[in-house]
Amino acid sequence: MGPSCPGCHSAAYQECRYKAYLEQIDYATNRGLERNQMERLATLDFVHKGQNLFITGSSGTGKSYLACALGHEACKRGFRTFYANAPKLLGALKVAKVKGTLETELKKIERCQLLILDDLFIVPLDAKERPILLEIIEDRHERKSTIITSQYPSSNWYDMVGDPTIADAVLDRIIHTAHTIELYGESMRKLRAKKSQSI
């Protein structure tokens, strides 16, 4: 199961995909990232208000890094934070449902003030994952914040959920209180590899 931050500010961050820090974010590369917007988000006012953040863009543009940097900052400031690779989390929660422990696991997620769902909708949801995602979102609606990273823009998420009724319910609860970062450009990993080869 994904990590939570039960009192120890660093516990959740240790499980993040990257050891990411706000002060190390690259603003020089042209990828649609605005320093002013990140500085506003870094105040974590959106977490205080229970608002959401969507970070979208193609693979390698830095979505997960930005999410982890904000998660690290939230942990430092004492916010309970839960990071998870979304497909792995939903898979684990399907197993928990079979074992009869789903509600216990969902309560762990609900208690966290900031939830990071990394790589959500990288593949369409299946019939068992849809109601689980809806329950996660419903538990947090207008009370607690969720950061979602995805390769697809939010305009595509309706189709990725699959079921129209559940898609309406999920998106209605997250879209209206969301900030958005849309990244573009060449993969940061490829750019770093090119730089190292030229040295």
d(CA 165, CA 157): 13
Residues 111 and 4: beta-carbon distance below 8 Å: yes
d(CA 114, CA 24): 21
Greater confidence (38 vs 4) lies with 38
Angle in degrees, CA 86, 24, 59, rounded to 5:
40
**Per-residue confidence band for 72, with pLDDT thresholds at 50, 70 and 90:** very high
How distant, in Å, are the alpha carbons of 24, 49, 98, 107, 125 from that of 141?
Answer: 31, 11, 26, 14, 20
Sheet holding 114-118, edge to edge: 81-85, 114-118, 145-150, 52-56, 178-182
pTM over 0.75? The answer is yes
Mean pLDDT of the chain: 89
Q: What is the set of domains in the chain, with CATH numbers?
A: 13-198 (3.40.50.300)
Residues 67 and 100: beta-carbon distance below 8 Å: no
Q: What is the reported pLDDT for 189?
A: 64
| SS3 at position 22 | helix
Give mean pLDDT, residues 175-183.
95
Q: What is the reported pLDDT for 185?
A: 83
pLDDT tens, residue by residue, 81-118? 999 999 999 999 999 999 999 999 999 999 999 999 99
